[in-house]
Amino acid sequence: MLSKRYRVLPLALLTAVLAAAGLRAQNPPPLVHPDFGTSWTGDGINVTFLTRKQQFSLTEVETLDKDIHSPKSVNIHPSGKKYYVNSLEGAKTVVYDFATNQKMKVIEHRFSDEDKDLWAPSSGLFSFGHSYDHPDTFFGKPVESTFTHGGRYLWVPYYRRSYDINAQEPSAMAVIDTQTDEIIRLFETGPLPKMVATSPDGTRLAVTHWGNNTIGLLDISSPEPTDWQYVTCLVVDYVLKLNFSLTVPVDRDVNSGYCLRGTVFTPDNHYLLVGCMGGGGGIAVIDLTTNKYLGRAMGVMPNLRHLIIKNGYLYGSINRTGHIQRIALEDFLEQVSVLDGDKHKSVQVKNWVNCKIPAGARTIEASPSGKYIFAACNFSSCLAIVDAEEMKLLGTIPADSYPVGLDISRDGRYIFTTSQARDIGGNCVDIFRVQYPYEQIRNYIDWLPPMPGIYGSGARSLSEWVLSR
């Protein structure tokens, strides 16, 4: 149950506001701004809304940060000392101190011909369809991020270069050195890159192009940034032909083929799995031993947005209807083993387990033990808490409208969500505290290094010490 009331702008009033502003309003969800201290408790777990960083209210001075402009994603550094927020429309990555939530730095994604030394040599994999006088002079709209090399670098792809109004040309991806929080390298990408992921062994990086059904694969095995290079650009069935207007915008959120999104490497580094949010749906399967696209695994619900692997299970979030689906990874891989990229390019995968959650399921993450799955639910403006073992919704807690991104701290105690701007609402980063059942404490703090004698009473780790009290 909720311990405090939260503020909601009634649907009728919101519709009237949009109509007065001349904006489209087809049953828009109500605006939600939870009060500090709002909490939910169930099944022994407690989630409390602590604070926010926002740009939607000039009067809430203590949380106001004008650099939070349509935040798309948030990434907590592996050290737990700071976190990064990608402000899509602000063309910035904002760095905060994890302990104090104080802003440490603002990284601007703006480039000119003077930044030519940042660019990696051209891979020859991506070509422009039109001619531009200064193609490397632009600002980039940061989408998602991934850490590599133990957290030393943060990779940030851009939705598009600012002059490319329909995201049909090669975009770009920045590499941030997290020791200095400076951009130290730029890579070209295909059109409209959204997701980026690091292989478990840290040697490869995949950037998924929503814009034309392709996936870039890079070799990052070297510790030296100058050695990193593209290996290939993989095609999921076909390359979408792009020949849009240079002056009239089109809706690229839907006119993008399969709309490739969720991207995850299998723990053994053998396969790359990529969700198809649009088109015919399914999950694209890539064999990394041969760098070959094998085909699509069908049977998953339409509008698959995000993929994660935890404790031997593959989980996916279904955006439109609001579901989390799960399947044993071993079972999934066995069923897709018939795919060969030639005669057999699709297979119906069975044995999915479904959990209904509020509509608009976007980013999902698992608690450190894998006992819980947390989901940012966009349409419903809430954070959903799911029992991953039982695959049942435990409850929800309101979040600022409209959450899309989510990350969880290494110890599982804090969850950050980002609320991307629409015509109204958004422009917010929410911070939640999570308290788990006492009997689960070993799972959440055993990641601390063994330090015999430090904790007293002969305990070799913090969890042993706590459980001995």
Tens of pLDDT, residue by residue over 66-102, are 999 999 999 999 999 999 999 999 999 999 999 999 9
Q: How many helices (H) and strands (E) does the chain have?
A: 4, 34
Residue 72 lies in a domain: yes
pLDDT at 425: 75
Q: How many CA atoms lie within 13 A of 113 on its CB side?
A: 4
pLDDT of residue 407: 98
Q: Is residue 111 part of a domain?
A: yes
DSSP string spanning 270-310? SEEEEEE-STT--EEEEETTTTEEEEEEE-SPSSEEEEEEE
For 466, the enclosing helix (H) or strand (E) is: helix 462-467
pLDDT of residue 451: 52
Q: Which token pair is 307? A: 């993929």
pLDDT tens string 350-409: 999 999 999 999 999 999 999 999 999 999 999 999 999 999 999 999 999 999 999 999
- C-alpha atoms less than 13 angstroms from C-alpha of 433 in its C-beta half-sphere: 10
Name the domain count of the chain: 1
Say if CB 18 and CB 46 are below 8 A apart: no
Nearest to 409 by CA among 357, 365, 359, 453: 365
Cβ atoms 300, 352 nearer than 8 A: yes
| Contact (Cβ atoms closer than 8 angstroms) between residue 120 and residue 112 | no
What's the DSSP call for residue 451? -
Low-confidence ranges of the chain (pLDDT < 50): 1-25, 439-440, 453, 455-457, 459-460, 464-469
Q: Which domain holds residue 335?
A: 35-467
Identify whether 7 is part of a domain: no
| Position 248 in a domain | yes
Please give the sequence-ordered ranges of beta strands (E in DSSP) within 178-276, or none if there are none.
182-188, 193-198, 204-209, 214-219, 229-235, 260-265, 271-276
Cβ(295)–Cβ(340) below 8 Å: yes
d(CA 386, CA 415): 14
Rounded Cα–Cα distance for residues 248 and 244 (Å):
8
Q: Does residue 225 sit within a domain? A: yes
Tally Cβ neighbours within 10 Å of residue 59. 5
Residue 304 lies in a domain: yes
In a domain, 9, yes or no: no
**CATH code of residue 313:** 2.130.10.10
**Does residue 150 lie in a domain region?**
yes
Q: What is the pLDDT of residue 305?
A: 98
Which tokens hold the place of 389?
């073992």
Digit-coded pLDDT (tens) for 308-319: 999 999 999 999
Q: What is the pLDDT of residue 441?
A: 54
Nearest to 452 by CA among 460, 444, 443, 464: 460
Q: Is 81 left (phi over 0), alpha (psi -120 to 50) or beta?
A: alpha
